[in-house]
Amino acid sequence: MPLTDTTIRNAKPTEKPVRIFDGGGLYAEISPAGGKLWRLKYRIDGKEKLLALGMYPDVGLKDARERRDEARKLLANGVDPGAHRKAQKAAKAERSANSFEVICREWLEQRKDTVEPSQHVKTLARMENDVFPWLGAKAIAEITSPDVLGVLRRIDERGARYTAHRVRSEISRAFRYAIATGRADRDPCPDLKGAIPAPKAEHFAAITTPTEVAELLRAIDGFRGTFVVKSALLLAPLLFVRPGELRSAEWSGFDLDKAEWRYLVTKTKSEHLVPLASQAVAILRELHELTGNRRYVFPGRDPHKAMSEAAINAALRRMGYDTKTEITGHGFRAMARTILHEELHIKPEVIEHQLAHQVPDALGTAYNRTKFLKERQTMMQQWADYLGKLKVGAEVIPLNGQAA
């Protein structure tokens, strides 16, 4: 007789497993411990086999019958339902192993040692917040351009257009990694060129007029924060390197006797040399008394780590500056580029080399850290002297904009 739900529910365990049959090979097996497992007995190629269909009551009588009927349809077509299930599980496991999230995390981990720690953290956060919830579980080879576009539009619609473009680039790089490792055939991201409008150009806030620079320098002199942060503030306009390169500077790169700082530019992976003006050397020698026995010139709260990337901007805000509209740690570069050219009439190519920008010459040769070295040494000292005069108000700025 076919089973009823009441029969199954009231079935009691005994010392040995008990089977109660429903028909068509389906039965419930009650274990001595009281568990009730649905099983299907079937024959294929002359062999009798069993297929587990789930536990009762998680799988009710109706669901168990439906699973039995699905299995019998496979048998009618010559397919072993047990082997079919194993193939499905294997395919699911393969899809999971080749999911976008698994491969993207693998790519991020693989490049971790070649990017700034903060960049790794930010990229991972963007993926976890904006990409993985929608694409993470999908097999990377099955992701289409519309799938990616849906992710980008969600980001763009919340007003983060720049982030949307950045995420498209990062998704594309994850796909290229998948292609290189044999787990995808193509990158769908190039198909989306123009699908999200280009973001408006954003420039780092910077102070570029001599009178305002003078006020800023005096404000830095009056800063009442820690000695390490104040030293970084004093050096930022003198050196005008990228904020991340300044805060993560290591003493091993400095030769104060030669008045030089050498380091690897993270953006271009090229060696860079910064000639140090006498004013910068004096600040560094004083700071060396405090942090010279450590790795980092500007250690953070944890002495084994560099100063926080937010420290300079936080200090500028404490001094009353708006880091969105007036000046940021990165803005010292624009300050130097503008005034060196417009007020001190330094050749643009010399300035660009000191900014560690890739500047091909007439022969197409890329950036060389020693090129214009004598000119740059002179420029850096001239720049430091100029800032010193601005700070004390001794530099006269005529109406025609020429420094006297």
Q: How far is CA 342 from CA 282, 307, 337, in A?
A: 28, 33, 9
From 67, 168, 330, 376, active-site residue: 330
From 39, 341, 357, 371, active-site residue: 357
Counting residues of the chain whose pLDDT is more than 90, the rounded percentage is 66
Q: Model confidence over 273-330: pLDDT tens digits?
A: 999 999 999 999 999 999 999 999 999 999 899 999 889 999 999 888 888 888 899 9
Is the peptide bond between 197 and the residue preceding it cis, with omega within 30 degrees of 0?
no
Q: How far is CA 183 from CA 57, 102, 159, 364, in A?
A: 40, 11, 33, 38
Q: Model confidence over 20-33: pLDDT tens digits?
A: 999 999 999 999 99
In the residue annotation, 267 being an active-site residue is answered as: yes
Buried/exposed code over 174-201 (b: 16+ C-beta within 10 A; e: otherwise)? bbebbeeeebbeebbbeebeebbeeeee
48, containing H or E segment: strand 47-56
In the residue annotation, 161 being an active-site residue is answered as: no
Which of the 8 DSSP states describes residue 395? S
pTM: 0.54
In the residue annotation, 16 being an active-site residue is answered as: no
In the residue annotation, 62 being an active-site residue is answered as: no
Domains by residue range for the chain, with CATH: 5-83 (3.30.160.390), 100-192 (1.10.150.130), 210-392 (1.10.443.10)
